[in-house]
């Protein structure tokens, strides 16, 4: 695919193409270089005269879905992935690639045989253990894909031609200097501040609110207390832990597992080492000769060889980078030195300051962990059986409590749950599956049994949800949330009081008072910030984003600002404006970024133009059929 060709690119274009031509087509093995014969010949995407077959789309989609599941640790199914936009991402990738292929063909761009063969010879998928082209790997790949060599070379010829087309459109070599200079100054500017913080705790004289004040605050912030739509659900959640009680584990099995994995429960011997390094063996041997006379290693180092010993820390044998050093050091006892050891760095003499013997964690301390691991491994077969029972129950349209009885797990009743997993009081509900599909499914389904389904996790766990009732959004009466309203009123009043005080102190600084004098009068300590960044993290944990923004809006050094800070309100003076990092490297990065942005915009406009020239048809119903439950069972998924 284009992925291998892109690896040779030295310009920003290689990065852009890696994004534009969509990661699902990246090579992860020899077979993925080829588009093999498809059992499903129906095209799900048509672009001009280019077609994408169902099997081809399935493969790319499953690669993207597997990557998503690995990153998230969940087990996202087709239905959920579709709502997340994964199907559209894969389809758009195929459309873009097909547009470039069609445009390349119509533009008459030709690629000679030598170029194609050289591109194939440099593909990672065909490199052997020596890093060179392996003709046997190439042959097996062709056989696996059921493609002839001419067919494969023609497919690569088309892709290289598409690469040429894209480079011709987006491969700009320069960018306007005025734009680059302006962005460089703006992006790489750093600012420092001198500041102090007025803590929330410094406001202690707030009066208690009366009923009228609470009512006024509640009416003004009523949306804050409005409860989101919620649902009452019944949930059958079956986890590996739920079947542990059905899995007997003999003591002999635990002992066997402990002995088999004993290295995992063993802390290797460690030694605290220091060394002296010499350029000759003769000088290295002076250490042993001097110590033979009764002097200590430290005395010899200081008075005889006149070196400061280098500490190697406390390490295990495999923690030393040079095996010869490990062998010598771990053959000595505490207080002893090694014979001179030669390495590419010179001649080493090591002293063993301390020995920590190897430790083996007793079986009884890890028995429970081993037993759980064995049960977790065996739980899969039981969970598979329970999952089949649950699926049969759904097929028979049984009530969920009956299905729970059949699988032997208690049905959970949740009287109210919102889309964030919180109850009617706004508190997080515990014990829910750590899987985003659980809440997604609850809020996708209607009331009743019609839309129930079994959702699986990779560890064998599964769950079924049934919506019992849907409650619309509701704003509670003041009496129901009065305690919370009172706390919010106090927090708001404290913030307003801090703001008034901070603004007054900043105004004193603007009038000519020094910030040290003002801070002292306020009972606060002065701080000097680290260099602050315009974007992202501020660069100083005690400087809030809002304070940083105000400092970057300030026109010149000496300007005073007051903004909400970290745990209070901050008053600051802009102390310095400077450029951060290496100026040459900063400008180069900006230049590359500007070129990439311009190139990306050109490609975006070019793709939009191609979509107007060539008809694009995406059979979304056909794609849905590819991933229907029946189709997946038929293909063994």
Q: pLDDT band at residue 137, thresholds of 50, 70 and 90?
A: confident
pTM of the model: 0.49
**Is 169's pLDDT higher than 80?**
no
Task: Report the 10 Å Cβ neighbour count for 134.
Answer: 17
**Is 265's pLDDT higher than 50?**
yes
Cα–Cα dist 438/77, whole Å = 12
pLDDT confidence of residue 172? 66
How distant, in Å, are the alpha carbons of 204, 232, 416, 488 from that of 568? 13, 40, 36, 16
b/e per residue 257-280 (b: at least 16 CB within 10 A): bbeeeeeebeeeebbbbbbbbbee
Query: Taking a C-beta distance cutoff of 8 angstroms, is the pair 68, 635 a contact?
Result: no
pLDDT tens readout for residues 279-307: 899 989 989 888 888 889 999 888 888 88
How large is the average pLDDT for residues 500-523? 95
pLDDT confidence of residue 2? 30
How large is the average pLDDT for residues 207-231? 92
**Is 58's pLDDT higher than 90?**
no
Task: Report the 10 Å Cβ neighbour count for 242.
Answer: 18
Look at residue 376 and give its three-state secondary structure: helix
Q: pLDDT band at residue 74, thresholds of 50, 70 and 90?
A: low
Q: pLDDT band at residue 182, thresholds of 50, 70 and 90?
A: confident
pLDDT confidence of residue 18? 31
Token pair listed for 389: 């029972």
Angle between helix axes 363-395 and 400-407 (nearest 10 degrees) is 140
**Is 123's pLDDT higher than 50?**
yes
**Is 577's pLDDT higher than 60?**
yes
**Is 362's pLDDT higher than 90?**
yes
- What are the helix (H) ranges across 130-250? 135-145, 149-170, 177-188, 211-220, 222-225
pLDDT confidence of residue 274? 93
* Residues counted in the chain: 637
Q: pLDDT band at residue 16, thresholds of 50, 70 and 90?
A: very low
pLDDT confidence of residue 120? 84
Of 77-91, 196-210, 351-365, minimum mean pLDDT range: 77-91
pLDDT tens readout for residues 30-55: 333 443 333 345 889 999 888 888 88
- Which residue from 283, 298, 286, 226 is spatially nearest to 477, judged by alpha carbons? 226
How large is the average pLDDT for residues 421-434? 87
């Amino acid at each position: 695919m284009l992925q291998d060709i892109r690896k040779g690119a030295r310009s920003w274009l290689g990065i852009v193409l890696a994004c534009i031509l969509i990661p699902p087509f990246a090579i992860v093995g020899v077979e993925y270089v080829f588009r093999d014969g498809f059992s499903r010949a129906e095209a799900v995407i048509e672009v001009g005269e280019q077609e994408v077959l169902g099997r081809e789309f399935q493969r790319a989609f499953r690669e993207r879905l597997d990557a998503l599941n690995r990153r998230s640790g969940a087990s996202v199914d087709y239905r959920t992935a579709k709502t997340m936009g994964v199907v559209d991402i894969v389809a758009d990738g195929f459309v873009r690639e097909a547009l470039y292929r069609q445009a390349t063909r119509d533009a008459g761009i030709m690629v000679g045989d030598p170029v194609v063969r050289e591109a194939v010879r440099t593909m990672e998928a065909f490199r052997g253990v020596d890093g060179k082209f392996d003709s046997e790997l190439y042959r097996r790949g062709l056989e696996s894909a059921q493609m002839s060599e001419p067919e494969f070379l023609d497919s690569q010829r088309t892709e290289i031609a598409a690469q040429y087309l894209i480079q011709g459109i987006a491969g700009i070599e320069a960018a306007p200097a005025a734009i680059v200079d302006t962005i460089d100054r703006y992006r790489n500017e750093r600012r420092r501040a001198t500041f102090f913080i007025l803590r929330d705790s410094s406001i202690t004289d707030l009066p208690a609110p009366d009923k009228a004040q609470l009512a006024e605050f509640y009416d003004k912030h009523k949306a804050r207390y409005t409860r989101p739509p919620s649902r009452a659900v019944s949930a059958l959640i079956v986890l590996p832990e739920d079947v542990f009680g059905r899995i007997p584990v003999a003591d002999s099995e635990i002992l066997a597992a402990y002995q088999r994995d004993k290295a995992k429960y063993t802390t290797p011997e460690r030694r605290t080492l220091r060394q002296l390094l010499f350029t000759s063996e003769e000088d290295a041997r002076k250490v042993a000769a001097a110590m033979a006379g009764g002097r200590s290693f430290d005395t010899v180092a200081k008075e005889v060889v006149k070196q400061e010993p280098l500490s190697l820390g406390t390490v295990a044998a495999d923690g030393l980078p040079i095996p010869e050093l490990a062998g010598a050091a771990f053959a000595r006892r505490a207080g002893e030195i090694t014979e001179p050891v030669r390495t590419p760095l010179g001649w080493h003499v090591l002293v063993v300051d301390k020995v920590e013997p190897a430790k083996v964690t007793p079986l009884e301390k890890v028995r429970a962990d081993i037993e759980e691991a064995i049960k977790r491994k065996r739980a899969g077969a039981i969970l598979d059986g329970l999952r089949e029972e649950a699926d049969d129950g759904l097929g028979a349209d049984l009530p969920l409590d009956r299905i729970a009885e059949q699988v032997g797990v208690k049905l959970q009743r949740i009287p109210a749950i919102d889309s964030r997993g919180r109850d009617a009081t706004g508190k997080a509900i515990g014990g829910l599956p750590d899987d985003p599909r659980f809440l997604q499914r609850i809020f996708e389904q209607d009331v009743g049994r019609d839309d129930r389904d079994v959702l699986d996790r990779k560890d064998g766990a599964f769950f079924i949800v049934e919506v019992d009732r849907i409650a619309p959004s509701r704003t509670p009466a003041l009496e129901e949330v009065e305690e919370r309203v009172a706390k919010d009123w106090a927090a708001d009043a404290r913030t307003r009081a801090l703001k008034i005080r901070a603004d007054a102190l900043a105004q004193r600084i603007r009038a000519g008072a020094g910030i040290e004098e003002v801070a002292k009068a306020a009972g606060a300590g002065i701080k000097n910030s680290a260099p602050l960044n315009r974007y992202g993290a501020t660069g100083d944990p005690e400087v809030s984003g809002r304070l940083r923004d105000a400092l970057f809006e300030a026109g010149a050094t000496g300007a005073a600002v007051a903004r909400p800070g970290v745990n209070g309100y901050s008053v600051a003076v802009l102390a310095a404006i400077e450029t951060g990092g290496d100026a040459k490297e900063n400008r180069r990065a900006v230049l590359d970024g500007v070129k990439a942005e311009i190139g990306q915009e050109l490609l975006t406009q070019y793709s939009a133009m191609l979509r107007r020239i060539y008809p694009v048809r995406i059979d979304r119903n056909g794609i849905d059929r590819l991933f229907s439950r029946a189709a997946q069972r038929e293909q063994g998924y």
